Amino acid sequence: MVNRAPLDGVRVVDLSSTFMGPYCTMLLAQWGADVVKVEPPEGDVVRAIGDSRGLGPVFLNVNRGKRGIVLDLKADGVAEVLERLVAGADVVVHNLHPEVAPRLKVTGEDVLRTNARAVHRALRGFGRGGPYQYRSAYDDVIQAVGGMAALQGKPGGPAEYVRTVAADKTVGLMAAAAVLAALHGRDASGQGQIVEVPMLETMAGFLLLEQQGGWVFDPPAGPVGYARTESPHRRPCRIKDGYLAVMIYTNPQWRAFFEAIGRPELAADPKYRTIRERTEHIDELYTLVNAELETRTTAEWQAELDARDIPAARVNAVSDLFDDPRLTSTGFFEHVDHPVAGPLRLPRPAVPLGAAPSPVRHAPSLGEHSVEVAAELGFAPAEIERLLGAGVLRDAAVPTEH
């Protein structure tokens, strides 16, 4: 029996750029899909971040496993190439502005007219309808309007952004899940469908899961928010030789912790007996925890808490991840040789699906597979030369400016 990746045979046309869409399609590629990344002549904007050759760290990470072609979407004659791409696709992904997609004829309605079995997935800042539908959006904007920036800031202080593109990556994950669900539905019905993934609605639902508080009731029965995450004392704890993150949550875990610090009677304290009571007194409880943890070292606390099944871990800097004992022992990082960028160290798929290995295809140089893909679409050599000569199609041999 031949092991196959779960999305083997699925063709994805990726018209997206920057972080969100490419993250989604990278996941699909890791699960076996043939992803054809379509770029403009100047390339995806993230190519230029951190490398003058157009193969910067972000691009190399988020576009692994894909083939790359260059199409000038403004050129006369591009429609015939796009139409063939769509006709042969199982999934079409883009994050084009809602006023641009109709001009290129890649709206959901356009795609399904060409290919009734295709899953059309548009990533938008805001969903259809309402006052925001034509606004542009990036991660920072969605963190702001979706409530995350205000929540991240200190109470009464200025709003702050999460120091990673949290909205882009969260929505990219949601989009990958939506694609898989739509493909499953197509297997049953034989019909493709339009899937739109709005950033604001996705992130608002993500945030409100635990932050809606009393406003889950109508009329509200209390304030919004979740006391545990709002506590100013919720932070990595200072210990003798650094910082430790400790998450004590369940009744057994709190009993075990109180025993570990020699104060088992606290488990019977009316303020600490249940999760509801502990949440109401969370500042006082976290103050107690922080004071106790300062008395021992990382190694001492880790051994103590592991023995009592209380989740805890040292605080890693980003650079520490490359030497983390768990990540190194499990082979989380793979070493590959890129034909242009040279030796690379990249994270493996966190969730490998199926018995087949993850794709080893490197992130493409600009236009690396243009001719190859055009030939697969049925264009004869002379037609490919015509498209190249007209500037509709570009290949890696044609220099472009960044």
Residue pLDDT, tens place only, 228-242 = 998 888 999 999 999
List of E strands, 1-116: 11-14, 34-39, 66-71, 91-94
Q: How many CB atoms lie within 10 A of CB 233?
A: 14
Q: Are the C-beta atoms of residues 47 and 402 closer than 8 Å to each other?
A: yes
Confidence check: pLDDT of 400 > 50: no
| pLDDT averaged over every residue in the chain | 93
The pLDDT of residue 271: 95
**In what helix (H) or strand (E) does residue 156 lie, and over which residues does it extend?**
none
Domain 11-206+330-394, CATH number (from 3.40.718.10, 3.40.50.10540, 2.60.120.380, 2.60.120.200): 3.40.50.10540
- Of the listed ranges 55-64, 126-135, 308-317, 333-342, the one predicted with least confidence: 126-135
Cα angle: 107, vertex 111, 116; to 5 degrees: 140
The pLDDT of residue 129: 83
Confidence check: pLDDT of 296 > 70: yes
| CATH superfamily, domain at 237-314 | formyl-coa transferase, domain 3 (3.30.1540.10)
Mean pLDDT of 358-363: 74
Could you give the dihedral angle defined by the CA atoms of residues 101, 15, 356 and 9, in that order, rounded to the nearest 10 degrees? Answer: 60
Q: How many CB atoms lie within 10 A of CB 80?
A: 13
CA distance 212 to 223: 8
Tens digit of pLDDT for each residue in 171-225? 999 999 999 999 999 999 999 999 999 999 999 999 999 999 999 999 999 999 9
Q: Are the C-beta atoms of residues 82 and 40 closer than 8 Å to each other?
A: no
Domain residue extents for the chain: 11-206+330-394, 237-314
The pLDDT of residue 372: 97
CA distance 179 to 120: 9
Mean pLDDT of 248-276: 96
pLDDT tier, 358 (very low <50, low <70, confident <90, very high otherwise): low
Q: Give the residue from 28, 43, 50 showing the smallest Cα distance to 173.
A: 28
Mean pLDDT of 331-356: 87
What six digits make up the tokens of 112?
């399904």
Q: State whether the Cα torsion 370-375-378-381 is positive or negative.
A: positive
Q: Are the C-beta atoms of residues 73 and 100 closer than 8 Å to each other?
A: no
